[in-house]
Amino acid sequence: MNRQFTEMLKGVLEGVVLALLSVQPAYGYEITSSLRELGFADIAEGTVYALLIRIEQRGLADVETVPSDKGPPRKVYSLSQEGRAHLEEFWRMWSFLSTRLSELRLKEKQT
């Protein structure tokens, strides 16, 4: 995967994870696999894990510990009230960015 894409992904990864959590609560491993299915094939499990811890620390997600059939209990993350607000803010910024970029592209084509 090329460098530029990795850099771009870094900027939106948190938003993407929040968006995934807004669909349904999930644990780290599930988030990583959803991201991979979405096409972020190169995403590291540790990166997602670190991001989830960050999201938890900032109160954007609630954490519930559920027993696992295999090994130690798992942490299941669900979006908190604050997380929802944060996600909305993310989408606002995202549409702003994508609208502006499409406009720019349109201009570029016209000239």
Partner 1 sequence: MSLTKLISAVVGDKRRWCAYRARAEKLPEKYRSAVAAIERYLLYFVPVDDDRAVAMFEDLADLFERGALEGTSIRDIVGSEPIEFLELFARNYTKGGFVPDDERARVLRALTPEDESASSLPKKALRRNRWVEYLIADRHSLPLSIALHLVPGALVVAAYALLAEPFVKAIRYPAFLAWASALVLVLAPLQVCLLRLGHAVNGRLSIRGVVHYLDRPLSRGKALATIAGLIVWMTTVSLALTPLDNLVFTKLFSWLPFEGVGGSATTYLNGYSHSTLLITMLVCLPLTGFSLPLIEELYFRGFLLPRISHLRWGAPVLNTVLFSVYHFWAPWTVLSKIVFLFPAVWLVWRRHDIRLSIGMHVGTALLMSGAGTIALILGVIP
Residues that bind partner 1 (CB under 8 A): 1, 6, 28-29, 42-47, 49-51, 53-54, 57, 70-72, 74
Q: HSE-up of 11 (CA within 13 Å, CB side)? A: 9
Alpha-carbon torsion angle 35, 41, 45, 46, nearest 10: -110
Question: What's the Cα-to-Cα distance from 96 to each of 5, 12, 40, rounded to whole Å?
Answer: 19, 14, 23
Q: Which is nearer to partner 1, 68 or 99 (CB)?
A: 68
Q: How far is the CB of 41 from partner 1 (least distance, A)?
A: 11
Bridge partners (DSSP) of residue 27 are 76
Q: How far is the CB of 68 from partner 1 (least distance, A)?
A: 9
Of 57, 46, 49, the residue nearest 27 (C-alpha): 49
Q: Which is nearer to partner 1, 67 or 71 (CB)?
A: 71
Q: How far is the CB of 17 from partner 1 (least distance, A)?
A: 13
Q: Which is nearer to partner 1, 2 or 110 (CB)?
A: 2
